């Protein structure tokens, strides 16, 4: 592991650790409103100031980071499992199954990712509880983000199906589900693992995009998307630079993921 990757790992661990310690670092919580100090600049009480309704920005950044960093991996796990199921099985079965599965993935891939996301998110209930909105947002990312991974897995499973060891296993009488679970699936693990990790930063960025467009996590629950929405009201960059902290944190985290995953991307391709 080179120096940059070690540094990126340390940054990620630090950010995850801080977000998990949000209850101790910001005991007042993300929703408490200090009405007497609305839109306040950074101070000893509020390290990153407060938002327009007096909520402590530091607390919201910590809790928002926790939500994004815990739920993006959950969505990535869901999308990887779906990709394994659809792509892996289609590639293993081959023929019409593979053609059918790839036609479905082509249909999803022919639509720009953000267009697909806003269409599907908009048809879901918008006036839901904050907790439900978090679940809906990340569940949707997981349910729609499997297509490109399924394509890679379909082709890998297809080449495994024709490999010597699978043919030999088949000749020894191992067939069907047993052959898939014991011989094909373990060999898909490196690709599945890579797809899982590279999905996490992609889903974090997607949630941020949806949040800024008003289709992400509902208020008062914080997420990186809803925190970045604050930038919409800015008049100049120098005016309130502390409002850029969520953006800087997001860029640092996603960059750290990219550095850690540079090897995984080669496997996934």
Partner 1 sequence: MLSSMLKRIARHGLTLIATALLGGLLATALVRLAPGFDVDEQQLDPHLNSESVQALRQKRLDQHNVFRFYFQSLRRAARGDLGTSLSLGQPVSALLRERAPLTLRLVAIGLLLSWAVAMAMAMSAAWLRVSAYDALTTVISGTFLCIPAAVLALLSVLWNVPGALAVALIVFPRVYRYARNLLAKAYSLPHIITARAKGLSELRILFWHVVPVAGPQLLAVAGVSVSIAVGATIPVEALCGLAGVGQLAWQAALARDLPLLMNITILVTLVTLLANSGADVVGHLLRGQEA
Q: Which of 218, 250, 260, 261 binds partner 1 (CB under 8 A)?
A: 250
Q: At what angle do helices 185-212 and 113-123 cross, to 10 degrees?
A: 70
Q: Is 205 in the site for partner 1 (CB under 8 A)?
A: yes
Phi-psi region of 212 (alpha: psi -120 to 50; beta: other; left: phi over 0): alpha
Give the separation between CA 160 and CA 190, rounded to whole angstroms.
13
Concatenating the DSSP letter of every residue in 45-74 gives: SSTT-B-TT-BBHHHHHHHHHHHHHHHHHH
Q: Which of 27, 95, 125, 173 binds partner 1 (CB under 8 A)?
A: 125
State the nearest-atom distance from the C-beta of 160 to partner 1, in Å: 25
State the nearest-atom distance from the C-beta of 18 to partner 1, in Å: 19
Number of residues lying near partner 1 (CB under 8 A): 36
Give the separation between CA 69 and CA 139, rounded to whole angstroms.
14
Q: Is 232 in the site for partner 1 (CB under 8 A)?
A: yes
Q: Is 267 in the site for partner 1 (CB under 8 A)?
A: no
Q: Is 38 in the site for partner 1 (CB under 8 A)?
A: no
State the nearest-atom distance from the C-beta of 57 to partner 1, in Å: 17
DSSP annotation of 146: T
- By beta-carbon proximity to partner 1, the closer residue of 245 and 247 is 247
In terms of Cβ atoms closer than 10 Å to its own Cβ (0-12, 13-18, 19+), residue 259 is: middle
Tell me if 139 sits within 8 A of 78, measured CB to CB. yes
Q: Is 112 in the site for partner 1 (CB under 8 A)?
A: yes
Lookup: tokens for 260 = 């850690």
Q: Is 118 in the site for partner 1 (CB under 8 A)?
A: yes
Lookup: tokens for 75 = 């969505």
- By beta-carbon proximity to partner 1, the closer residue of 187 and 209 is 209
Q: Is 81 in the site for partner 1 (CB under 8 A)?
A: no
Tell me if 138 sits within 8 A of 207, measured CB to CB. yes
Catalog residues that contact partner 1 under the rule CB under 8 A.
106-107, 110-115, 118-125, 201, 205, 208-209, 212-213, 225, 228, 231-232, 234-237, 247, 250-251, 254-255, 258
């Amino acid at each position: 592991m080179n120096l940059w990757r070690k540094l990126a790992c340390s940054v990620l661990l630090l950010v995850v650790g801080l977000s998990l310690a949000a209850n101790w670092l910001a005991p007042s919580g993300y929703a408490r409103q200090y009405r007497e100090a609305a839109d306040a600049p950074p101070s000893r009480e509020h390290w990153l100031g407060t938002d327009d309704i007096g909520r402590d920005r530091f607390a919201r950044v910590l809790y928002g980071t926790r939500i994004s960093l815990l739920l993006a991996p959950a969505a990535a796990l869901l999308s990887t499992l779906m990709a394994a199921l659809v792509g892996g099985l289609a590639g293993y079965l081959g023929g019409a199954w593979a053609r059918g599965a790839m036609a479905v993935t082509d249909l999803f891939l022919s639509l720009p990712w953000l267009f697909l996301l806003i269409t599907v998110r908009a048809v879901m209930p918008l006036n839901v509880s904050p907790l439900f909105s978090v679940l809906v947002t990340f569940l949707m990312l997981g349910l729609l983000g499997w297509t490109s991974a399924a394509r890679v897995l379909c082709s890998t499973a297809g080449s495994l199906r024709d490999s010597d060891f699978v043919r030999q296993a088949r000749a020894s009488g191992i067939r069907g589900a047993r052959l898939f679970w014991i011989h094909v699936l373990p060999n898909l693990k490196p690709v599945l693992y890579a797809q899982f990790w590279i999905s996490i930063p992609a889903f974090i960025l997607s949630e941020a995009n949806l949040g800024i467009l008003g289709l992400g996590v509902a208020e008062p629950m914080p997420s990186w998307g809803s925190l970045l929405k604050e930038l919409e009201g800015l008049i100049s960059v120098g005016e309130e630079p502390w409002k850029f902290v969520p953006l800087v944190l997001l860029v640092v985290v996603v960059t750290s993921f990219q550095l850690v995953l540079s090897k995984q991307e080669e496997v996934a391709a």
